[in-house]
Amino acid sequence: MKLLKSLFCFLSALFSLQLTIAQSPNQDIKIVPAPMHKVDKKEKYQMQGVLKVHPVNPRYFTDQSGKAIYLTGSHTWLSVLDGTGPSGKQTPEDNSFLDFIVAHGHNFTRLWAFENDGFVFADVTPNVYLRTGTGVASDKKPKYDLTRFNQAYFDRLRSRVSAAKDRGIYVAVVLFGHSGNLNGQIFYKKENNINGIDGDPNADGYAIETRTLQIPAVTALQDAYVKKVIETVNDFDNVMYEIACESGPETTEWQYHLIRLIKQQEAKMPKQHLIGMSSDGGYVKGDDTERLFKSDADWICPGWNTDTSCIYMTDPPAATREKIIMIDTDHLWGIGGDYKWVWKSFLRGLQPNYMDPYVEYDSGATWGSTQGQFDSARLAMGLTLKIANQINLVSMIPHNELSSTAYCLADPGSAYLVYLPEGGHASIDLSNASGKLKVQWIKPTEGTMVPGKKIKGGKNLELITPFTGDAVLYITKQKPLVNISSK
């Protein structure tokens, strides 16, 4: 049964990949990853220490500056490691993807780990362990020696974290890959290593036991690997950790163990970084968000909340004070989501991230088109970040009740940011606001702003968009927004 589930995971991921390509607008047009705008020193955020949970508004991060920090950005599978995917070989050594997301105005990405070849991608290098063993593994290559780390792996990781820091990008170091990885040439299967480690004791082909604390020898190896990663990147301010990408409910205690391990290890080190825990991605029936909120993770990344649907796709629930919520298309569609999803998430106090198909390209191009779904989402994330950096975000919380659209981030009486997903008009409750208020209308994929007439608060007002299509509305007593256009 577990083998079938693992096969399902693989086929689902591949099908999602192919389906998205087939349905993307202008699919015969490829995007060349050219800069959307130049980023000057004033625009790049100057990090001031490691990230922490903001003590006043714990929906957001902060650092020594005390500012509320909103993270958003694209990530892609092979942003750290080399490998071969459906469109051929990808080598990320030139940091081109980091430049790509900076050019779109992003400040966050995930750095992926893979435990083995064979899950959508092949020939993934460098590996965590050296392959110096006698005999061959199931992939016809030398077996792994689990007592010998491959320093090239950790050097590559450190290099990528450093390159991100230089560009003002925060990273989530993903320590373990998708649990679908456990069906193939995983290090911990006895046929793949020279150390007698058997991570699949029931021989069903699916080594989920390696994520259950059932095999102390495997857990000890994993602990050593995590400690090695921490030693490699502890001195960076732009680092967070994510335990695993989409690992199911049976791995909950294993993930809790690793969260505790990281906290204990870093307590003895110069810097203490935040830790995230992610959804299983809908591969297991039911809602798995409860285990995320119950964890000691500092931030979480939810996914599907029922057997057949996910509210985070269509109408994301507002963030509360429980946890920082980094909502990621990877755990919802695999590849999917559009700019409207980005704006809905932002207005609900969430921090949206995008599983970007950029990595699958030939001759420096990627799928989709500049007018298509993917690029509109990239642009929207950049726009939300520009706005987050200009408003008094620490005082802004989701107030669905203040707008007829139910998408409203507000500091009642002072500032209101509203999304109108269908355009037209919206009723805004300004009863807590006195005096005159400035009005700005924003096109949600361009950032083009149209000033409105000043309005008087103290009551409900119905406002009509000055252009067709969906719109973002900013009402404030504070300074108006400036220079957010992506053009």
Question: CA Rg, the chain, in Å?
Answer: 23
CA-based nearest residue to 462, from 400, 420, 415, 434: 420
Task: Provide φ and ψ at 332, rounded to 5°.
Answer: -110, -65
CATH fold for domain 2-367: TIM Barrel (3.20.20)
* pLDDT(22) > 50: no
Q: Which CATH class is domain 397-476?
A: mainly beta
Give the domain ranges of the chain. 2-367, 397-476
Specify the amino acid at residue 205: G
Predicted pLDDT at 6: 39
The whole-number average pLDDT for the span 245-264 is 95
77-98 pLDDT, tens per residue? 888 888 876 555 666 567 888 9
Instruction: Provide CB contacts within 8 A for 249, sequence distance 6+.
Output: 280, 284, 288, 291
Burial, 110: exposed, middle or buried (Cβ in 10 Å; 0-12, 13-18, 19+)? buried
Predicted pLDDT at 271: 98
Task: Provide φ and ψ at 226, rounded to 5°.
Answer: -60, -45
2-14 pLDDT, tens per residue? 333 334 343 333 3
334-370 pLDDT, tens per residue? 888 899 999 999 999 999 999 887 743 333 334 443 4
The whole-number average pLDDT for the span 27-37 is 37
| Of 247 and 309, the one with more pLDDT | 247
Predicted pLDDT at 382: 96
Predicted confidence band of residue 117 (pLDDT cuts 50, 70, 90) = low
CA torsion angle 348 349 355 357 (round to 10):
70
Instruction: Provide CB contacts within 8 A for 222, sequence distance 6+.
Output: 176, 210, 258
Task: Provide φ and ψ at 437, rounded to 5°.
Answer: -130, 140
The whole-number average pLDDT for the span 150-167 is 95
pTM, two decimal places: 0.89
Q: Write the DSSP string, 294-325.
A: HSS-SEEE----SSS--HHHHSPPPP-SS-EE
Predicted pLDDT at 110: 96
Instruction: Provide CB contacts within 8 A for 445, sequence distance 6+.
Output: 339, 376, 379, 380, 383, 486
Burial, 431: exposed, middle or buried (Cβ in 10 Å; 0-12, 13-18, 19+)? middle
Cα-based distances in Å from 346 to 180, 432, 470: 30, 23, 15
Mean of the per-residue pLDDT values for the chain?
A: 85
